[in-house]
Chain A
Amino acid sequence: GDSVTQMEGPVTLSEEAFLTINCTYTATGYPSLFWYVQYPGEGLQLLLKATKADDKGSNKGFEATYRKETTSFHLEKGSVQVSDSAVYFCALSASASGAGSYQLTFGKGTKLSVIP
């Protein structure tokens, strides 16, 4: 079945440091890829997405490129801020066989803490 593997956390960085959170996936067909962010006590919010190979999603200084050859979708940000402290989830969307819907499969999440 489909799966998403992302780096184990927690990750602790100083403000203005460079961030990379690795994400790799296995899926049949041509999934769409997503990064979601979850702030404490809240639901998930879409951070960025990419729908085909070599697409780059970007938002709020975060970027991720859909790499089909390495089945990866690593999240990067050049200079993190304290307000970026949250849990980040990598996810893919693929067809659910026989169901007529597309299911999101999530990684386990990576907790990021940014210290001043």
Chain B
Amino acid sequence: SQTIHQWPATLVQPVGSPLSLECTVEGTSNPNLYWYRQAAGRGLQLLFYSVGIGQISSEVPQNLSASRPQDRQFILSSKKLLLSDSGFYLCAWNLFGVHTEAFFGQGTRLTVV
């Protein structure tokens, strides 16, 4: 069966420090991969999606970047965190097709102080 792992679960980082969140998927090949951010009291904002290794699309301009070095690995990074980067970050995957649902990781609670 397919599983998705996302870590760490919680993270407290000072302003200006770097960030690296990792997500891996098991049990499937060539998934579409997604990073979402959920700010307090707000909905889910799509940050990045990837349809293949090295292929990253960004939905909104921001202080973050994403990379996909392997088929089932998706990394969210920042060189210098801002206070506004605080939030709940969710990784997700699905397979190609309009009818396929997405499967989500457990999320990372990032607090920038």
Contacts and interface: CB of A to CB of B under 8 A. Distances in A.
Interface residues of A, number: 29
Given A43-B106, A107-B43, A108-B42, A101 B51 contact: yes
B75 to A, nearest CB: 18
B94 interface: yes
Given A43-B106, A44-B104, A100 B51 contact: yes
Interface magnitude class on chain B: 20 to 34
A31 B44 contact: no
Interface stretch (B12-20, B61-69, B77-85, B95-103): B95-103
Contacts of A43: 6, 90, 92, 104-107
Contacts of A96: 49, 57
Nearest to A47: B101
A103 B51 contact: no
A109 B36 CA distance: 14
Interface of B: 6, 32, 34, 36, 42-44, 46, 49, 51, 57, 90, 92, 94, 96-107, 109
Given A41-B107, A51-B98, 11 more contacts: A42-B106, A43-B6, A43-B90, A95-B98, A100-B51, A100-B96, A101-B96, A102-B96, A102-B97, A105-B46, A106-B44
18 contacts: A31-B98, A32-B99, A36-B104, A42-B106, A43-B105, A44-B92, A45-B104, A93-B100, A93-B101, A100-B51, A100-B96, A102-B97, A103-B34, A103-B46, A104-B92, A104-B102, A106-B44, A108-B43
Interface of A: 30-32, 34, 36, 41-46, 49, 51, 89, 93-96, 99-109
